[in-house]
Amino acid sequence: MHHLAGKSTDRKHVTLTTPSPWQRAALGANLLAADGSLGVTIFEEMTTLAVKTGAINLGQGFPDEDGPAEIKAAAQAAIAAGANQYAPGKGTVELREAIAAHQDRFYGLRPDPQTEIIVTTGATEGIAATLLALVEPGDEVLTFEPFYDSYGAMIGLSGATHTTVPLLAPDFMPDAALMEEAFTERTKVVLINNPHNPTGAVFPREVLQRVVELSARHNAVIVTDEVYEHLTFGVQHIPVATLPGAAERTITISSAGKTFSFTGWKIGWLSGPEHLVAAIRTVKQFLSYSSGTPFQGAIAVGLGLPDDFYTGIAKSLESKRDILSEGLRAAGLDVFTPRGTYFVNVDTSPLGISDAVDLARRLPALVGVAAIPVPVFCHPEGAERTRSLLRFAFCKKTAVLEEAAARLATLRDRL
C-alpha cells in the first residue's frame, strides 16, 4: 500500500497533510525530499557520477548505437518532404494502420486503426493518459513490485492508491495467494509491465491468465506495458489481450524506442476497446496533443520490417547479456539471468554487501561502472526486500560490455 507519510527509500520520512499533484507524483517516484522540495532521480544521480568518474554507464537503459538505417532514412525523407507540422491527435493514419498490421502479424489481434489505436509521445505518455483517464482518488492501481518508476509517479498524480504484489527472486514471479489477496473491491486498474523492467522476468501464460481472471472478478481494467515485447530470450511474449476474457478490458501499450533503438524519438502507441481508448484520447489531447510527425511515418516503415530483423535484435541482445553476466559472476555476484528486456539483476550479498544503494554510489569510483539499485523501484517494504540488488543495462556495444565486464570482474578485490 502506498502511503503519503514516510514514503522514501533513503530519505528522511515525509508527512504531507495536503499534497499538491506534483508532490503526489514525486512521492510515487521517491523524489520528494524531507523539506518538500523535488529531488533528482537515481538515473540522473548515477549518470552524473558516471560522467564525473569516467565510468561506463550501465544504469540508464538507452542503446549507444542507432537502429536500422532504413528507418532513419525514412525520417529524413519525411522532414525533407515537409512532414513537419502537427500530426492528427490520434496519430497519422499510416502509423495507426502499421500498428494494427503489426498486432495482427505477431499476435492475431485486430484493433481498428480508426477507433482503437492512439499514437502517443512514447509509452510513458500512454501510461499517464490512461491512468489519468481511468482512475481517481479512492481507486486503487495494482502493480507488480519492483515497478518502473514512472508508474508510482503517475498513480500519485492521479490521486489513486498504489498497491503492489511482490516479485520474488530468483525468478521474479508473483506468489498466487499474495496476488489474489492484493485485489480488492477498490482495484480499478491492474498495470502490468511484461517483459518486466527492472527484473527481466517474462510472465508465463498461467500468471497472466490469473491476472485476467482476478481482474474480471473485480471489474478492473488491465493496462499492459509491452515495450520490450520483441526482446525476449528463449521464451515467448504473450500479450495479455490475446488471453480468454482479456480483450474487452485490456489497454495494450508499446513503443518504438526499445524495439528499434530510437529512444529519443518518443513514438509510442496504445490499443484497446473503443470506449476506453476514447476516454484516454480525451486526456491525451491535453497532454502533448500530437508529436513527432516525421518520425511517425518512419516507425511505420520499421513495423513492416521482415521477421529476421525482430529475431536478430533478440539474438544480439542475448549475446550481450551473456558477456556482461560473465563479468558479474567473476565479481562474485549472484546473477539472476533475465528472460527478456535488456537489464540483468544481481545480488550483492555474496560479497557481504547488503546495501545496494550505497554500493551503486561507490561503484563508479571503485571499478568504473555505473548501475541502478533495485530498491529505488519499490515502496519501503519492497525496498527492504530488495536492498541488496543492483540492475545493469546491457543494451550497449559489444566492446563496451566487454570492457565493463572486465572492470566488474575486479570488484571483489577492490572492496
Q: Tell me the CB-side half-sphere exposure of residue 171, using CA atoms within 13 A.
A: 7
pLDDT digits (tens, 9 = 90+) for 198-241: 999 999 999 999 999 999 999 999 999 999 999 999 999 999 99
Q: Is residue 255 part of a domain?
A: yes
Distance CA 172, CA 344 (A): 12
| Cis upstream peptide for 294 (omega within 30°) | no
pLDDT of 9 > 50? The answer is no
At 42 the pLDDT is 82
Q: Cell triple for residue 188?
A: 480499478
**Verdict on whether the full-model pTM lies above 0.95:** no
Alpha helix positions (H), 230-385: 257-260, 274-284, 293-303, 307-330, 356-367, 380-385
Note the pLDDT tens digit of each residue in 263-290: 999 999 999 999 999 999 999 999 999 9
Report the share of the chain in percent with pLDDT over 70.
90
Same domain, 57 and 95: no
Question: Is residue 371 included in any domain, yes or no?
Answer: yes
Does residue 354 sit in the same domain as residue 207?
no
Read out DSSP for 167-217? EETTTTEE-HHHHHHH--TTEEEEEEESSPTTT-----HHHHHHHHHHHHH
How many distinct structural domains can be found in the chain?
Answer: 2
Summarize pLDDT for 150-168 with one digit per residue, the tens.
Answer: 999 999 999 999 999 999 9
Q: 401 lies in a domain?
A: yes
On whether both 250 and 342 belong to a single domain, the answer is no
Q: Which of 277, 303, 329 is the last residue of a domain?
A: 303
Same domain, 163 and 240: yes
Q: What is the DSSP letter of 10?
A: S
HSE, side-chain direction, 13 A CA sphere, residue 294: 15
The mean pLDDT value of the chain amounts to 92
Spatial distance between the Cα atoms of 314 and 321, rounded to a whole number of angstroms: 10
Phi, psi of 207 (to 5 degrees): -70, -45
Residue 2 confidence (pLDDT): 37
Nearest in space to 269 (alpha carbons), one of 286, 288, 250, 256 = 256
Collapsed DSSP state (helix, strand, coil) of residue 370: strand
φ and ψ of 202, to 5 deg: -120, 115
Angle, helix 122-134 to helix 149-158, in steps of 10 degrees? 30
What pLDDT sits at residue 16?
43
Same domain, residue pair 274 and 324: no
Please indicate, yes or no, whether residues 323 and 409 belong to a single structural domain of this protein.
yes
Domain assignment present for 52: yes
| 140-145 and 161-168 strand pairing | parallel
CB-CB contact of 240 with 252 (8 Å): yes
The confidence band for 21, taking pLDDT boundaries of 50, 70 and 90, is low
Domain containing 263 — which CATH number? Answer: 3.40.640.10
* Residue 292 sits in the same domain as residue 319: no
What pLDDT sits at residue 10?
39
With a pLDDT cut of 90, the percent of the chain lying above it is 88
- Whether 13 maps to a domain, the answer reads no
Instruction: Read off the pLDDT band of 60 (50, 70, 90).
Output: confident
Compute the half-sphere exposure of residue 71: CA atoms within 13 Å on the CB side of its CA. Answer: 21
**Higher-scoring residue by pLDDT: 14, 146:** 146
Report the pLDDT value the prediction gives residue 7, as an integer from 0 to 100: 35
Give me the domain span that covers residue 132: 85-303
pLDDT at 11 over 80: no
| Position 343 in a domain | yes
What's the whole-number mean pLDDT along residues 14-26?
58
Q: What is the CATH number of the domain that holds 322?
A: 3.90.1150.10
CB 148 within 8 A of CB 225: yes
33 assigned to some structural domain: no
Domain finish residue from 303, 320, 345: 303
> DSSP letter at 160?
P
Does 381 lie in the same domain as 340? yes
pLDDT value of position 13 = 37
343-347 β-sheet, strand order:
334-336, 343-347, 389-393, 372-373
Q: Give pLDDT tens digits for 79-120.
A: 999 999 999 999 999 999 999 999 999 999 999 999 999 999
Residues in a beta bridge with 345: 336, 391
Where a domain ends, among 303, 328, 354? 303
pLDDT in tens, 43-54: 889 999 999 999
Give the pLDDT confidence of 325-353 residue by residue, as tens digits.
999 999 999 999 999 999 999 999 999 99
Do 162 and 280 belong together in one domain? yes
Specify the pLDDT at position 44: 87
123 and 163 share a domain?
yes
Residue 282 sits in the same domain as residue 313: no
Number of alpha helices (DSSP H) and beta strands (DSSP E) in the chain: 16, 14
Indicate whether 176 and 99 sit together in one domain: yes
110 within some domain: yes
